Amino acid sequence: MKRSLTAIVATAAALAVALTGCSSGGGGTPKDPNAEVSFWSFTGINAKDGVNEYVKKVPDAKVKLTEVGSTTETATALTAALAGGKVPDLVMIQNDDLPKFVENSSNFLDLRTLGGDDIADDYLGWAADAATATDGSVIGIPTDVGGLGFAYRADLFKQAGLPTEPDEVAAMWKDWPSFIAMGEKYTAATGKPFVDNIETSVFFSTVNQVSEKYYSPKGDLVYDTNPQVKEAFDVAVKTHDAGISAGIAAWSSGWAPGRANGAFAVTIAPSWILSGIKTDAPDTAGKWRIASVPGIGGNWGGSVIAIPARAEHPEAAWQYIKTMMSAEGQADHFAKSGTFPAATSAVESQAVLDYTDPFFGDSKIGKVMATSVQKFPSFYNGPDTTPINGALLNTLVQLEAGGVTSDKAWTTALDTAKQAIGG
């Protein structure tokens, strides 16, 4: 019989037996399941809100949260700790950084020893697979995924004579050529850029809709020969050449003001980014809408939560995971913070599918995001996914800044990627 994460009830004695060979304490003596948990997270995902929710649900619990820095900085700090430093009890690992840790799965507790052999079955298959080692050990539980949507200014679309309702907009930009054509109509009507940039809003959308990305399913590097990657990159270049991009990079100094002052009408909007729009542009409440992206959905982001093998308080760490990463816990956290659930039953729940937000004109955000991750074809990520991503994205930033020409962009991107991975 399948055991869901929410159905697991382990006694302290049974849990201690399961952990005897895994924790650094040894000796078979149960540790305090209510001990203070040291929790490392990266910034920008509302981890503090999650911790606050947890201590309300488990009043005796104690969590010391450290937001280490960016996803890359957190992964770097974890790598150093695993090499001999003091490890946290819990750590968040962003999906692009995950492969190198999965390759060294002995550094983490196999969570099957805590939640059952089929614990990963409760989550979207591709999200769980990313945290599963070749020997079947599960080193992390998916905390969230980054279902893709596009946020657009309905008021600006109306001024340009374009449709304003999400279903109509999604139909008009059903594929990427249609998206570019729609952008050309907008720019011709308003004299303003259509989309904020080509590297995240366009390339990160298209390259995360592929069935094979930078690695083959067997783990071989194919980024430089894979036609799907080249096609995704070409869409971004064509968007630039169409003259419809503002060239305002994500998280640059002009990005937040641009969201507020109408410098662009469209921006990529995985679920975790929506709160940032509300923070950056509070006076635009009710003017934004959320629609599905052109093509077949996709994913940007997502993370897992893991327990290092040398964690001091693994029992208390597991208490946090089974409370907050259950389907109910993830659905609840999504409604409060915007991080989209990875638990399958949460994705399919009415609470998620019916989720709307008046800031975004009561768009069907939950349904858009759920459809996106359900259609996501998934692909294998390898240890050099992050530097390759960076090389291709940075080349597109250079293109928008005039540092490279369209006809040289692809070869420049490949050369930069090879240097980044030492190829």
Residue-wise pLDDT tens digits, 220-263: 999 999 999 999 999 999 999 999 999 999 999 999 999 999 99
Point out the residues of the chain with pLDDT beneath 50: 1-30
- 3-state DSSP call for residue 47? helix
CA distance 44 to 69: 9
Nearest CA to 145 out of 386, 353, 328, 342 is that of 342
Contacts of 314 (CB under 8 A, 6+ apart): 19, 22, 23, 31, 89, 109, 307
Report the pLDDT value the prediction gives residue 378, as an integer from 0 to 100. 85
Helical H segments across 338-384, by residue range: 344-347, 350-353, 365-375
Contacts of 219 (CB under 8 A, 6+ apart): 380, 382
Query: For residue 356, how many other CB atoms are within 10 A of its CB?
Result: 14
CATH topology of domain 150-294+355-421: D-Maltodextrin-Binding Protein; domain 2 (3.40.190)
Residue with tokens 């001024």: 159
The beta-carbon contacts of 397-406 under 8 Å, at least 24 apart in sequence, are: 397/197, 397/199, 397/249, 399/198, 399/237, 399/240, 400/197, 400/198, 400/199, 400/240, 400/245, 400/247, 400/249, 401/247, 406/237, 406/240, 406/241
Whether 5-146+301-351 shares its CATH topology with 150-294+355-421 is answered: yes
Report the pLDDT value the prediction gives residue 27, as an integer from 0 to 100. 31
Report the pLDDT value the prediction gives residue 31, as an integer from 0 to 100. 57
CA distance 327 to 341: 8
CATH number of the structural domain 5-146+301-351: 3.40.190.10
CA distance 161 to 204: 28
User: What's the full length of the chain, in residues?
Assistant: 423
Domain boundaries, the chain: 5-146+301-351, 150-294+355-421
pTM, two decimals, is: 0.88
CA distances from 124 to 73, 114, 374 (A): 27, 20, 8
Report the pLDDT value the prediction gives residue 179, as an integer from 0 to 100. 98
Report the pLDDT value the prediction gives residue 298, as an integer from 0 to 100. 87
Q: Are 421 and 388 in contact (CB under 8 A)?
A: yes
CA distance 96 to 93: 8
Report the pLDDT value the prediction gives residue 33, as an integer from 0 to 100. 63
Report the pLDDT value the prediction gives residue 335, as an integer from 0 to 100. 85
CA distance 360 to 273: 13
CA distances from 348 to 50, 122, 276 (A): 21, 12, 25
Report the pLDDT value the prediction gives residue 423, as an integer from 0 to 100. 72
Percent of the chain exceeding pLDDT 70 equals 92
